[in-house]
Structure 1
Amino acid sequence: MPCRPLIATLTAVSALLAPALSQAQVTLKPDRQWRYLLTAGANISSGNNNAGTLNLAAEGARETDDDKWTWAAKADRARSSGVDTTERYGLRTQYNRDFSVDWFGFGSGELLRDRLANISSRTSVRSGVGRHVWQEERGFFDVSVGLGYTYDRYIRSTDIAGAMRDRYGRLELVLAEESSHKLTETTSLRQKFSLYPDLRDSGKYRAVLDTGLTVAMTQTLNLSAGLSYRYDSDPGTNLKKADTMFVTGVSLRFD
């Protein structure tokens, strides 16, 4: 199966990088209250290298004893020597509902614009079932499976699935695992890996890996950084299959 080497590689990368990263995460507590996290990062240089980056993110979460609703928004811009190197905007939300101690159902939606990847807009909706492999006060580990539909609009017509297209929709299988671990009173680790095999064009797939660590400086202030990895086996003409982003910043927690 073509995606097995990718899964093994990403698992190894996640294990190696997790201790070195610090990505803030919104507080999860089953008390029916909304909690928020705002993160900002920037880097500007001039002289021999004129470059600048700006990264903004916001998260929200509401959890009870039997359900959880989360959302997240991100904006990433980078420019070097007058050339755009990153321009990506995203918004996603997911709702989980337990129907037993170990099992839950989920529904999610996502919007993405990535100009340098030739994506004018990507709209995804997904639904399925998951299992709580373990969950306790210091963290959780979930696995899930389901079906989704993704519809892409491209900035420029490109060769996708053997034809020149300006848009492409497909049914996808959804395979995911996610975990959060409270390592100390001030340090928490989280990671999520999702795989989306294309059910319209056999052998094509997308993969997403996010991993990070929260280091709290005060009750509301966190130093943050994060690693994201995106892979598309058929991204289109003259585009690379993989995108990796490492971001540092400061987060404010509103609990």
Structure 2
Amino acid sequence: MRLLRGAGALSIRHLASSLGVSHMTVRRDIATLEDEGLVDAVQGGVRLREHTGVEPPRERDSRAALELPRKEAVARRAAALITDDMTVFIDAGTTCQALVPHLTSRRGLTVVTNDFFTVSALFAHPAIEVIHTGGVVDAASGSSSGALAAATISAMTLDLAILSTGTWDTSHGLTSPELDKVVLKRAVLDAATSGALVADSTKYGTAERFRVVPLDALDVIVSDAELPESAAAAIADMGVELWTATD
């Protein structure tokens, strides 16, 4: 709690390192503190709850502050997938948004996205054509999804789909807590010639209740060097390319 009062939000990895305990211990402690009404669990970490006296950032801002160097490294590596004259879908999320600065030299690029932050970031780059999917708005994540968004995608042909996820592993594939997101992600993969996942290693080994697709439905996975060796081997056995980012 002392560390959180100083930072507002911290990653599980940072807390485990600072306290000299396992990730599972940190997760159990977060669950206990959440039950006591002191904190809120977010993807990859934890933030102070508002009534503790420290104003917490919005959910999207909390996630953006977690594992920032790792997210940027993954985004930088994933940007190599995008070439001139592509029509590419960029999913919602802080890692996907971090792709934007690496796209400014591309020519003839069309970006399709459900992420309002990515659209806003691309306002400064008028040479890149931008299409927003529309759909049901999720204010907490700054994105949209659902059947309306999927209908927009179904009217398009995509060269590449770059997906994000908060939960993934080799057994369950990509999963999501919300059906609206499942509908959109599946529509995007159906419309795309190739599909890629960008997800750092802190999100690996977790699953939500709704399955999006198995990992072998993807062509490329971009993660970081701390992904477990067993996971890397399993991905290779599936015939999926694994691109590893370095800081």
- Mark yes or no: TM-score above 0.5: no
Q: Which has the higher helix share?
A: 2
TM superposition score normalised by structure 1: 0.26
